[in-house]
Chain A
């Protein structure tokens, strides 16, 4: 698949941009590649006053996968710091889970499966 690893890099960029937007001062990102998938794990803190931004992130990341949109729009991910493209990240990933609770760090886990070409 074209630019597959670059797409992962840009997803990480987008996540980090949003973490900063939520007021994070401590961000840990872990990227793992296997034969079947890419896994992106991100753990960060956030300002309590930004809880709405966290809830917005959960909604946007939970967009279902849309590969028909990905090829056209993927270059927008991680490229802008005045607006976010988290819904696009949701469309580019197969699974997204976000765990957060008051006073705790947020844990985001994304899976992007490698698909067979036709």
Chain B
């Protein structure tokens, strides 16, 4: 119910920020424009349309999970908040369904229940920009490009379940956005093939500025409400909150199952406030992509993240800004810090020094891997995080003393 409330709240906020005509026009633009990284839907369709898009996607994800009679866990919460966050930059009410259909077809092919694959389907919509790219952006006839875009989306969804389960072993669960790693590899192969046929993937940077005040107010209200609800449901106490710091956060650390919903809500609200304060403190911009990063932190605060394992990652990215050629508030680096917390379990398991190292390396790797998939994998940080974790973990293990 709390999740549904938040989804509905986004739709309401959207309508408060724009007229119905403006929202419809904005939604049309969001659907037709390319979605690959970095496309801020606030810049494409306006604040109202972006919020309505995110709200509808959130409610749709909740509806699917509700119909499947899934018990609410940390995985449920992280999935739903991921849909909200990326509903502001890359996923829209049109482009996500083909990948979901592909995953559903895979379940049918295996004569298995869709419930087992529903999270892979929802997470897997990270490749949704591929659908739009092929449908509307190529210079092919629409009679060819639209069915082709649909078919590619369905095909990608169809191969996601086995590939994602297989690749989990590569980083041993130390990269929280495993689908990002999987989608990065599938996206790299797909885009390589498309480039071989002459498709030119141009870079894109739609990054809005100037909305910090209104968005900060919304975020602070959202997260404060989250803390208040969590505090109330937790018997008006912070009981259980400090237990989170005992967990490394490595997959699968489901805080809702392990510690309960109310303390998890507290953790989510606190981490949301921290992430918002971070963006404001470095004089970054609050917009679709950075809100996406904040919401992803909030979602995964029910599924592995806490301040103890996230802080070293932020410090690693910050230290990188002192020595490398970019600034801490460059768009890609703001996202690298927020989404780089995909590597939080490294700090949680091996200690803060390795966490800082992971953040330091991640902030460089993430700037270089986007080219490989042409920005069609929205979880680019999950792709980079997978590479960093797969390299760091065996090295750390090799030099770790046996217990």
Interface residues of A, Cβ cutoff 8 Å to B: 1-2, 21, 59-60, 63-64, 66-76, 79-80, 82-83, 85, 87-88, 91, 117-118
Contact A118 B68 (CB under 8 A): no
Residues from 169 to 187 in B contacting A, C-beta threshold 8 Å: 169, 172-173, 178
The one of B73, B112, B251, B400 that contacts A117, using a Cβ cutoff of 8 Å: B112
The one of A60, A69, A85, A118 that contacts B75, using a Cβ cutoff of 8 Å: A69
Contact B251 A71 (CB under 8 A): no
Contact B172 A118 (CB under 8 A): no
Contact B120 A72 (CB under 8 A): yes
Report A-chain residues with C-beta under 8 Å of the C-beta of B233: none
For residue B248, CB closer than 8 A to chain A, the reply is: yes
Q: What would 10 more interface pairs be, CB under 8 Å, given A68-B118, A117-B111?
A: A64-B257, A66-B73, A69-B119, A71-B112, A71-B161, A72-B120, A76-B252, A91-B252, A118-B112, A118-B113
The one of A2, A21, A73 that contacts B168, using a Cβ cutoff of 8 Å: A73
CA distance A33 to B248 in the complex (A): 34
13 contacts between A and B (CB under 8 A): A2-B110, A64-B71, A66-B71, A69-B75, A71-B116, A75-B165, A80-B172, A80-B173, A82-B350, A83-B172, A83-B248, A87-B258, A91-B257
CA distance A9 to B231 in the complex (A): 42
Contact A71 B169 (CB under 8 A): no
Contact B70 A68 (CB under 8 A): yes
For residue B166, CB closer than 8 A to chain A, the reply is: yes
The one of A2, A66, A68, A76 that contacts B251, using a Cβ cutoff of 8 Å: A76
Contact B258 A72 (CB under 8 A): no
User: Would you give the shortest CB distance from B175 to chain A, in whole angstroms?
Assistant: 12
For residue B253, CB closer than 8 A to chain A, the reply is: yes
CA distance A22 to B397 in the complex (A): 19
Report B-chain residues with C-beta under 8 Å of the C-beta of A70: 116
For residue B403, CB closer than 8 A to chain A, the reply is: yes
A-B contact number at CB 8 A: 90
Report B-chain residues with C-beta under 8 Å of the C-beta of A72: 117, 119-120, 161, 164-165, 168, 178
Contact A76 B169 (CB under 8 A): yes
Whether A71 contacts B173 in the complex (CB less than 8 A), given A63-B257, A63-B258, A117-B111, comes out as no
Whether A75 contacts B166 in the complex (CB less than 8 A), given A69-B75, A82-B400, A87-B253, comes out as yes
For residue B40, CB closer than 8 A to chain A, the reply is: no
Q: What residue of chain A has the Cβ atom nearest to residue B397's Cβ?
A: A82
For residue B285, CB closer than 8 A to chain A, the reply is: no
For residue B228, CB closer than 8 A to chain A, the reply is: no
Q: What residue of chain B has the Cβ atom nearest to residue A65's Cβ?
A: B71
Report A-chain residues with C-beta under 8 Å of the C-beta of B35: none
Residues from 187 to 230 in B contacting A, C-beta threshold 8 Å: none
CA distance A64 to B71 in the complex (A): 10
Residues from 276 to 306 in B contacting A, C-beta threshold 8 Å: none
Report A-chain residues with C-beta under 8 Å of the C-beta of B70: 68
Whether A68 contacts B403 in the complex (CB less than 8 A), given A73-B252, A75-B168, A76-B172, comes out as no
User: Would you give the shortest CB distance from B159 to chain A, in whole angstroms?
Assistant: 14
Contact B112 A1 (CB under 8 A): yes
Report A-chain residues with C-beta under 8 Å of the C-beta of B68: 68
Q: What residue of chain A has the Cβ atom nearest to residue B110's Cβ?
A: A2
Q: What residue of chain B has the Cβ atom nearest to residue A81's Cβ?
A: B397
Contact B173 A76 (CB under 8 A): yes
Report B-chain residues with C-beta under 8 Å of the C-beta of A21: 403
User: Would you give the shortest CB distance from B103 to chain A, in whole angstroms?
Assistant: 11
Report A-chain residues with C-beta under 8 Å of the C-beta of B120: 71-72
Whether A2 contacts B112 in the complex (CB less than 8 A), given A76-B172, A82-B400, comes out as yes
Contact B251 A73 (CB under 8 A): yes
CA distance A59 to B246 in the complex (A): 14
Contact B112 A87 (CB under 8 A): no
CA distance A82 to B348 in the complex (A): 12
The one of B113, B118, B349 that contacts A82, using a Cβ cutoff of 8 Å: B349
Contact A69 B112 (CB under 8 A): no
Report B-chain residues with C-beta under 8 Å of the C-beta of A75: 165-166, 168-169
CA distance A82 to B299 in the complex (A): 26
